[in-house]
Chains A and B, each alone.
Chain A
Amino acid sequence: MYLNTLVSVLPPADRATLVKASELRSYRRNETVLAVDEWTDRFYCVGSGLLRVVEHGRGNGGDVTTEFIRRDDFFLGSSFTKDRHQATQTLIAALPSSVYLIPIAAMRKLCERHPQLSLALLDIAMKRVGVMRGQLRRVSALSSEDLVGRVLHQLTQLAPAKTGGYDKRITQSVIASYSGLSREVVNKTMRDMENRGLVHRDDHGVHVRADFVTTDFDLPLAEPGFGGAGAASLQPCS
């Protein structure tokens, strides 16, 4: 779902108002976009790059990347009924990113007049629910090796490098935090895959053999909502 697609349900004047009220900001890799407990009155729509959502535990050991937010996808936060709320997760740039910050209050005002906008937001949220259910299953049921294989394949779509594969700036610690494995296990698994010729690197990308994707697909479709952008995921650069 693109910001443009989302606001296309609005009349031009309202569209212009929303775009004007929004702010485009740039973030370096590893920069915090929104910290847990911080107050925010915005939705976040990624214009370029990749963000990750980090859920915190007690102490530093329990932090987990629950999802990635890629280009044209949204981070909707935890409340829509209030103008502002305290973030319950941290949002971090996994790659250099640019992000549209859209005021929740303005969005809600438009939703009151245009229920189609709410229905479009609901689509985005339900797509996310589908992606997260899939990830929950993989983290729960797959072996470490299958899980890492699936995550590497996902990354080729979430963070594509121009030479193919995924952007090599995505670190093993990010992969560990998303797959719920230790860095040691991820490192060992990836080294093993490299030795077997399943994974190889060049200047920009980490390349993953296409047959990785045959590892344990979600039923019934081959990951229709994968990455959160649904049908749009097939044309990430259009």
Chain B
Amino acid sequence: MYLHPLFANVPPAERAALIKCSELRSYRRSETVMAAQEWTDRIFCVTSGLLRVVEHGSDPSGDVTTDFIRRNDFFLGPTLREDRYMARQTLVAALPSSAYLVPIPAARKLCEAYPEVAMGMFEYAATRIRSLRSQLRKISALSSEDLVSRVLHQLTQLAPASTGGFDKRITQAVIASYTGLSREVVNKIMRDMESRGLVWRDEHAIHVPADFASTDIGGLQASGPETDEFQGGARTEANS
């Protein structure tokens, strides 16, 4: 049990100690994992399910989902150099999820003892920046329909269903909040896609055609930046 592939090369005794001081928690769908303005001394490492990061405006209608944290992804505070931080965003379970809550001092100690852990954390943050850039571009430049297509495709990777496609418990409200579109617009576009046979449902999933991935690819990344988050060869060994 690694807690996270990033810790794979940490000696077993220290890995066990890290797990022991961390707390494994489960969350129901739509449950708040951490509320904005709450103080915490933990970082979050998702072991199953999917969390979403919600940035708040001055009134609730301005709330926006900025990114998703999936299995083997972290939600970090602004720094590991201080023991606690005040959350600027709210973290909500988009699906039933479980996460390790790792005390920041313990994470920092490992970073200090094992440089590759610290560098891995930084690499993780760089990956997150890359996907935020890509999302910013999509929101700014794409038509509503292209944007919804891209997001539906992203969801097949973030929240895969056992039968293919994405988990149908991801609501249109969540999709709206992530695309910056109204629920009405998202509903209309998805209904339109269904009636054109592009999108279809079964008991578990909403299925999306593969070519949704190729709508307006940014830069070089033919598979889109969302496909390569944390795949440095470590993902496959997760939870072993």
Contact = CB atoms under 8 A, between A and B. Distances in A.
Interface of A: 36-37, 53, 55-58, 61-64, 66-67, 76-81, 86, 88-89, 108, 111-116, 118-123, 125-130, 132-137, 139-142, 179-180, 216-221, 224-225, 230
B56 A219 contact: yes
Contacts of A62: 137, 141-142, 216, 218
B78 A130 contact: yes
Contacts of B135: 136
Interface stretch (B16-24, B111-119, B151-159, B194-202): B111-119
A220 B90 CA distance: 11
Nearest to A133: B66
Interface in B115-151: 115-116, 118-119, 121-123, 125-130, 132-137, 139-142
B115 A112 contact: yes
B64 A141 contact: yes
A88 B62 contact: no
A133 B55 CA distance: 7
Given A58-B217, A129-B129, A137 B121 contact: no
A36 B36 contact: no
A136 B55 contact: yes
B155 to A, nearest CB: 17
Given A119-B108, A126-B125, A129-B125, A89 B133 contact: yes
Interface of B: 36-37, 53, 55-58, 61-64, 66-67, 76-81, 86, 88-89, 108, 111-116, 118-119, 121-123, 125-130, 132-137, 139-142, 179-180, 216-221, 225, 232
B140 A139 contact: yes
A88 B36 contact: no
Contacts of B116: 112
B219 A115 contact: no
Contact of B141 (A37, A61, A123, A218): A61
Given A140-B180, A218-B56, A225-B78, A125 B122 contact: yes
A134 B121 CA distance: 22
A180 B122 contact: no
B126 A125 contact: yes
Given A64-B137, A130-B78, A140-B180, A118 B111 contact: yes
Contact of B132 (A127, A132, A219): A132
B202 to A, nearest CB: 31
Contacts of B111: 115, 118-119
Tell me which of B80, B89, B126 has the highest count of chain A C-beta atoms within 10 A of its own C-beta: B126
Given A62-B142, A136-B135, A219 B37 contact: yes
A37 B112 CA distance: 34
A180 B147 CA distance: 14
B139 A180 contact: yes
Contacts of B129: 76, 125, 128-129, 132
Nearest to A62: B141
A95 B56 CA distance: 32
Contacts of B128: 125, 129
A219 B88 contact: yes
B133 A126 contact: no
A141 B62 contact: yes
Contacts of A120: 81
A129 B76 CA distance: 10
13 contacts: A55-B133, A55-B219, A57-B141, A66-B133, A78-B126, A78-B130, A88-B221, A115-B112, A115-B115, A119-B79, A142-B57, A218-B55, A219-B36
Given A139-B136, A220-B86, A118 B217 contact: no
Tell me which of A111, A180, A219 has the highest count of chain B C-beta atoms within 10 A of its own C-beta: A219
B139 A58 contact: no
B58 A125 contact: no
A136 B131 CA distance: 12
Nearest to A77: B126
Contacts of A56: 137, 218-219
Contacts of A216: 57-58, 62
Contacts of B37: 219-220
Contacts of A123: 78-81
Tell me which of A57, A140, A217 has the highest count of chain B C-beta atoms within 10 A of its own C-beta: A140
A63 B219 CA distance: 10
